[in-house]
Amino acid sequence: MKRLLVMLFLMLATLPAAAGGLAPVIPKASGKPHPEGNLFMRINHMKLMKHDRDQTVREGDREIGHSLKACIECHAVNGADGQPVDISSDKHFCRTCHDFAAVKVDCFQCHNSRPEAKSQVLILPRPGDTNDLAAYLEGAAR
């Protein structure tokens, strides 16, 4: 039964918000989309990140395909102050669906739910990055 509800939710979430406001509005991300596609990520994101905490913490043994730190960077959502919100906000990417589906995760007791200040700067083109220099100058001239 739970499986069925989750599938229903995942299908609903593919409808545009205009279709009755039934589905959560998932904030847009930055960076490249997942090669596996959005539906795959909806269904499998929890498996990609799972770690056995005892093993990770005590033995440094990881079998993790995806970084939580990276999720938080591409999926950062800005609040009214222009700064990325943390997990206490219902605008946080991870909460848009979880609140809707009544899922609670404890990941952010240990992990940062916001990008670190320095990676927020890294998202912008920098003059030190030769490939992006032209783009940077073009942006600065505008």
* Binding region for ligand HEC (CB under 6 A): 6, 9, 13, 26, 28-29, 31-34, 38, 41-42, 45-46, 48-49, 51, 53, 56-57, 64, 66-71, 74-75, 93-94, 96-98, 101, 103, 105-107, 109-111
Considering the complex, what minimum distance in angstroms separates the CB of residue 142 from ligand HEC?
24
Considering the complex, what minimum distance in angstroms separates the CB of residue 134 from ligand HEC?
22
- Nearer to ligand HEC by C-beta: 15 or 105? 105
Asked whether the beta carbons of 64 and 49 are under 8 A apart, the reply is yes
- Nearer to ligand HEC by C-beta: 64 or 133? 64
Q: Tell me the CA distances in angstroms from 128 to 20, 81, 82, 122, 132, one per residue in order.
A: 47, 28, 25, 11, 8
34: left (phi > 0), else alpha (psi -120 to 50), else beta?
A: beta
Determine the 3-state secondary structure of 84 from DSSP.
Answer: strand
